[in-house]
Structure 1
Amino acid sequence: MRIVVVGAGGIGAYFGGRWAEAGLDVTLLARGAQLEALRSGPLRIASPLGDASVPIAVAGRADEIGLADVVVVATKTWQLPEAAASLAPLLGADTLVLGIQNGVEAGDVLATAVGAERVLDGTCRIISYVAEPGTVTHAGVPPTLTFGERRGGISERGRRAFATLERGISMTVRLSEDVALDLWKKFLFFAPFSAVGAAIGRPAGDWRHLAPPREMFVAGMWEVVAVAASRGVELAPEMIDANLEFVDRLPAEGTTSLLRDVRDGRRTELEALAGAMCRLGRAAGVPTPVHDHLYALLLPHEVAAREAAEARAGQS
């Protein structure tokens, strides 16, 4: 089975590299300095689960690769529309497209671009980032990838994809009967956690023990529960306690991609996280004051980063 991973950032490079390490047929679709580094040498993975130096096929455009059996789209959410529109050269009659973005709306974007019949929804858990071009660092959280049919249930094509993807080294892959619930379970944690941490500008260890930000995180989770319920997804209240326990076990220096992007002046996934909560809440008539406040605090960072990126693009 031929796998193409679209996006060679911290998530795409980690999972793609571990599949290549296991001997699977993998190509990374990359850009910029990461593309150049991987063209000239192996992908280096630094991880508490074991370091690796992995030769891996890499391309800068989809039309350089040929048809794929599974396309794993691991771009940032704001990059997804452009990435989805570029996938056509990879798509054969039975090609599956699996998005593993943050948030709960990526599958809709992919379905619009490539056809709903191709799309599997997915989510992942990992703290990883590109330390330098050609090197990805896994900083925490056991790497887990969960995917399944958008309509629910287990399909034969899902089983075939799972049989290949689960062979990756130093990762857990799950085939889910209810991937919509899995997406919202992650969103329950990640939307408020990422926004609180980014607004504070500090890693988890600096705020999780303090009552005001901890209470804001909890209130934000209750907002996600309410919005999910408005869309027919029931999130059990005990998930909130489980998420608090999870936060308390995180490495003290643990950060989210949202915090790192705000800190480094890059474009962020704010619109897919706190922004999505505000939009979905308004559409359902569900108040989301915590996410509204956090979104307002973080929006100027996103706008400034977007304008800077557009200015750089105009100069090139």
Structure 2
Amino acid sequence: MISEALPSRLRVAVVGVGGVGGYFGGRLAQAGHEVTFVARGATLAALQTQGLRVFSALGDFTVQPARATDDPGHVGEVDAVLVAVKAGQIPHVAHTLNPLLGPGTAVLPMQNGVEAADQLAAALGEAFVLGGLCRIISAIEAPGVIRHSGGHPSVTFGEFSGQRSDRVQRLQQAFEAAGVTVDLPTDIRVAIWEKALFVSSLGAVAAVARATIGELRALPETRALIERAMQEVATVAHARGVPLPGNAVAAALAFVDALPAAGTTSLQRDIEAGRPSELDAQLGAIVRLGREAGVPTPVYDFAWRCLLPQERRAQPLSG
């Protein structure tokens, strides 16, 4: 399913036009690639009438007109699909992506968590799916309007086989030409779990404590809790055959120390606002995978159970 030569101008479908899909899809469109945004509701209407607007310290821009539809069947086969919906939406979205797939299509998940690629592969077939993640601080300011507020935007992806395939190299070239930093790790599984170790552990403690990153890392009790949560993820990863480096926890803690003190996590913000969150993808997944591997995850289990009632209350809002 890997093409020998993808065209220099890629056909790309972006599924989910929030802070991630809007920014990275917008940059690819700005660079001259044929990008179609798959959206719905107010976002779709805004894209079709005013285009996509992105505000960023790296340069504001507008994609106008923006190709946009609510039906992947209207797009046809593409070279790459950027799946940028929230992690909990992937099982519902995955089966709608078949019309986008051709012999060499690369499906690139960009979510937090460790299960996105497996869920997409189960629905679409392993040959189509890359492992992937992104790093950016961005959000929807209004329908069709994205605000990039921090962090240098980057994407990390690769074949699970480790092969530096043609489709991976073409995506690398496309992103880099659009001003996005690209990392092609030797083992994409390690990169995915390293990000989960950092993001979900900090998110778990922050969402329960309702405190800023600066408060959490300065208080010995909560700092120790973050470190214990990170160690749980590392232990689950190793039990599942993912060779995280020995300094993974120390490196993640150092990254926490470098974050703005007033910052909060996306999981914390969603739960505090009563919005559907990535609780299941970020915390529930570690609990489930730990049970499967026979690894106890007491910090994750406690945080997941404490936050579950609020998540259940928020779910009707997603309909």
Query: What range is the shorter-chain TM-score in?
Result: over 0.9
How far, CA to CA, are the matches of 1:237 and 1:150 in structure 2?
21
- In the TM superposition, residue 256 of structure 1 has moved relative to its aligned partner by 2.4
1:111-260 equivalent positions in 2, closer than 5 A: 111-169=121-179, 171-260=180-269
Residue 291 of structure 1: which of 296, 300, 303 is its match? 300
How far, CA to CA, are the matches of 1:175 and 1:196 in structure 2?
30
Q: Deviations over 1:48-107 (max 9, x none)?
A: 222222323221111222221111111111110111110111112221211111111111
Alignment of 1:11 with 2:20, yes or no, is yes
How far, CA to CA, are the matches of 1:100 and 1:196 in structure 2?
23
Q: Deviations over 1:140-171 (max 9, x none)?
A: 222111110122232223222322232223x2
For 1:309, the equivalent position in structure 2 comes to: 317
CA RMSD of aligned residues (A): 1.6
Counterpart contact for 1:153–1:178, Cα < 8 Å: no
How far, CA to CA, are the matches of 2:220 and 2:273 in structure 1?
27
Letter in 2 for 1:64: H
Q: Does 69-78 or 255-264 show the bigger shift?
A: 255-264
How far, CA to CA, are the matches of 1:26 and 1:71 in structure 2?
10
Q: Does 103-112 or 250-259 show the bigger shift?
A: 250-259
Counterpart contact for 1:206–1:252, Cα < 8 Å: yes
- In the TM superposition, residue 255 of structure 1 has moved relative to its aligned partner by 2.6
Alignment CA distance shift 1:208-1:131 (3 Å): farther
Alignment CA distance shift 1:32-1:89 (3 Å): same
Q: Does 205-214 or 21-30 show the bigger shift?
A: 205-214
Alignment of 1:27 with 2:42, yes or no, is no
Alignment of 1:276 with 2:307, yes or no, is no
Counterpart contact for 2:236–2:293, Cα < 8 Å: yes
- In the TM superposition, residue 286 of structure 1 has moved relative to its aligned partner by 0.9
Counterpart contact for 1:159–1:175, Cα < 8 Å: no
Alignment of 1:85 with 2:104, yes or no, is no
Letter in 2 for 1:309: L
Q: Does 268-277 or 228-237 show the bigger shift?
A: 228-237
- In the TM superposition, residue 177 of structure 1 has moved relative to its aligned partner by 2.5
Alignment of 1:73 with 2:83, yes or no, is yes
Counterpart contact for 1:204–1:254, Cα < 8 Å: yes
- In the TM superposition, residue 201 of structure 1 has moved relative to its aligned partner by 2.2
- SS of 2:79's partner is strand
Alignment CA distance shift 1:107-1:30 (3 Å): same
Counterpart contact for 2:113–2:200, Cα < 8 Å: yes
Letter in 1 for 2:216: W
- In the TM superposition, residue 207 of structure 1 has moved relative to its aligned partner by 2.4
Q: Does 7-16 or 250-259 show the bigger shift?
A: 250-259
Q: When the two structures are superposed, what TM-score results if normalisation uses the length of structure 1? A: 0.93
How far, CA to CA, are the matches of 1:42 and 1:159 in structure 2?
29
How far, CA to CA, are the matches of 1:209 and 1:48 in structure 2?
29
Structure 1 gaps, min length 5? none
- In the TM superposition, residue 234 of structure 1 has moved relative to its aligned partner by 2.2
How far, CA to CA, are the matches of 2:78 and 2:245 in structure 1?
38
How far, CA to CA, are the matches of 1:15 and 1:182 in structure 2?
19
How far, CA to CA, are the matches of 1:70 and 1:60 in structure 2?
17
Runs of 4+ in 1 over 3 A off after TM superposition: none
- SS of 1:102's partner is coil
- SS of 1:58's partner is strand
How far, CA to CA, are the matches of 1:2 and 1:252 in structure 2?
40
- In the TM superposition, residue 268 of structure 1 has moved relative to its aligned partner by 1.2
Q: When the two structures are superposed, what TM-score results if normalisation uses the length of structure 2? A: 0.92
- SS of 1:252's partner is coil
- In the TM superposition, residue 135 of structure 1 has moved relative to its aligned partner by 1.4
Letter in 1 for 2:152: P
Counterpart contact for 2:104–2:167, Cα < 8 Å: no
Counterpart contact for 2:131–2:160, Cα < 8 Å: yes
- In the TM superposition, residue 113 of structure 1 has moved relative to its aligned partner by 1.1
Letter in 2 for 1:19: L
Counterpart contact for 1:154–1:177, Cα < 8 Å: no
